[in-house]
Amino acid sequence: MGLLIFLIIIVLIVVYFVSLYNGLVRARNGYKNAFAQIDVQLTRRHDLVPNLVETAKAYLTHERTTLEAVIQARNAAVSGLAGAKAQPGDEAAMQQLAGAENALTQNLGRLFALSESYPDLKASQTMMQLSEELSSTENRVAFARQAYNDAVMGYNNACEVFPGSILARQFDFGPATSLQIEDPVKRDVPRVSFA
């Protein structure tokens, strides 16, 4: 009878640790899947940029450096995304991607600020449509990034809490890094003055 109870306890402990291990695997797969959603949205963003530049090129003949900077930033972002796709959650890959995306965001901001000086460009139907698509995509990127960061937090928590931390160290479940991209539209608080 004592041997049966001992065997039941051993089986329960084994089932518990198998369940913990499977939870770590599910959490890791969850953040990788969440990154795949970021990949879809950033690829869409990157695909819109050349069309935006081509549309602006006809109007901004004297602003060649701005257009070239946007294209270079886009190419760096595509490269950063490829590196991050190969290793989602890797700290260096996430930092490279975030830096490239932030540079692209800044250069797109300069392009849109410059387009304000060109009424014909600003009024162009194609430019308005591309701007709207890019804005919509930015919202989707933000949503996908939040889902990814939530999945990374869940995975990291599973790896750090006891007794999951023992299994995580034993089976090489390393920490994942979240993705921090600057908000593309930083808005100043409007000033109201009645004077």
Q: Judge contact between 23 and 41, C-beta under 8 A.
A: no
Please give the distance of CA 187 from its chain centroid, rounded to a whole number.
21
State residue 24's pLDDT score.
96
For residue 78, name the pLDDT band (cuts at 50, 70, 90): very high
Nearest of 113, 111, 178, 117 to residue 146 by alpha carbon: 178
* Cα distance between residue 37 and residue 104, in whole Å: 19
Q: Judge contact between 138 and 157, C-beta under 8 A.
A: no
Q: 175 with 159: CB under 8 angstroms?
A: yes
Model confidence at 183, pLDDT cuts 50, 70, 90, reads low
Q: What is the mean pLDDT of the chain?
A: 89
Picking from 186, 154, 44, the residue whose alpha carbon sits closest to that of residue 89 is 154
Work out the end-to-end distance of the chain between its first and last CA atoms, rounded to an integer number of angstroms: 90
CATH class of domain segment(s) 11-170: mainly alpha
Query: Is residue 102 within 8 Å of 86, Cβ to Cβ?
Result: no
164 vs 154: CA distance, rounded Å: 12
Residue 185: pLDDT over 80: no
Question: Global pTM?
Answer: 0.82
Calpha distance 98→42 (Å, rounded): 11
Instruction: Choose among 125, 144, 126: nearest CA to 48.
Output: 126
- Would you state the pLDDT for residue 117? 83
Give 192's pLDDT tier (boundaries 50, 70, 90): very low
| Number of Cβ within a 10 Å radius of residue 104 | 26
Report pLDDT digits (tens) over 41-73.
999 999 999 999 988 887 887 788 889 999 999
Query: Which whole number is the average pLDDT over 18-34?
Result: 96
The span from the CA of 164 to the CA of 159, in Å, is 6
pLDDT at 160 over 60: yes
Of 149, 127, 137, whose CA–CA distance to 104 is shortest?
A: 137
